[in-house]
Amino acid sequence: MIRYVTGAVGALIFAFGAWAQTSPPQHQHNVAAPNLIDGAVRPDLIPDSVAYRLYLVTVSTGRNPTESAQKDQRAKVAKTGLDDTDQHVLTDILSDFRTKYDDLVSEYNSAARAALARNESQDIRGLLKEIDKLVQSTRDAIDSRLSPRGSAKLHSFVMAEKKNMKVTED
């Protein structure tokens, strides 16, 4: 089973701004975030584009992946139930996605570091829009390069995975 967290984008990003250096509160209640959507409860509230973004980021590997990372990716891709040909095509698509994704994040990080040096903050909305475009173009590549059966099977798989996702609303 694959676990997803919307913080994956945030964890890969250098800065949303300055991080506060505060200590955690002494007493914490076990209360869910007010804008948290739990896919186990309401998968219909998780947008398809967000589900695909989380899936693509989770299953793709970075440049020059280790044999262990490749093995892990093959296992995750195999869980989709795609035939061997579609699995190989999807792996190529994932590699292309991750290269572009990492480039976008790297560009943002460079701009954020430069802004921070000027005591400014970098607006993350531009990065998020570019990631949304990348996810859509990757979905288009999936639809055009996988077999029709494979594309439908992957879509069903990603939609079913919403039950394992938790996201926050904007």
Question: DSSP for 46-114?
Answer: S-HHHHHHHHHHHH---SS--HHHHHHHHHHHHTTT--HHHHHHHHHHHHHHHHHHHHHHHHHHHHHHH
The answer to the question of residue 99 being in a domain is yes
Radius of gyration of the chain (CA): 18
CB 138 within 8 A of CB 71: no
**Residue at 83: amino acid letter:** D
Q: Which range marks the domain in which residue 104 is found? A: 32-168
pLDDT band at 31 (very low <50, low <70, confident <90, very high): low
**Residue 16 reports pLDDT greater than 50:** no
CB atoms within 10 A of CB 42: 11
The answer to the question of residue 85 being in a domain is yes
Share of the chain above pLDDT 70, in %: 79
Report in angstroms the alpha-carbon separations of 14 from 3, 147, 162.
Answer: 23, 38, 27
Residue 169 has a pLDDT of 79
* pLDDT (tens digit per residue) in 106-150: 999 999 999 999 999 999 999 999 999 999 999 999 999 999 999
Give this prediction's pTM.
0.79
The answer to the question of residue 126 being in a domain is yes
Residue 18 has a pLDDT of 34
The answer to the question of residue 88 being in a domain is yes
The answer to the question of residue 1 being in a domain is no
The answer to the question of residue 21 being in a domain is no
- Domains in the chain, number: 1
The answer to the question of residue 56 being in a domain is yes
The answer to the question of residue 48 being in a domain is yes
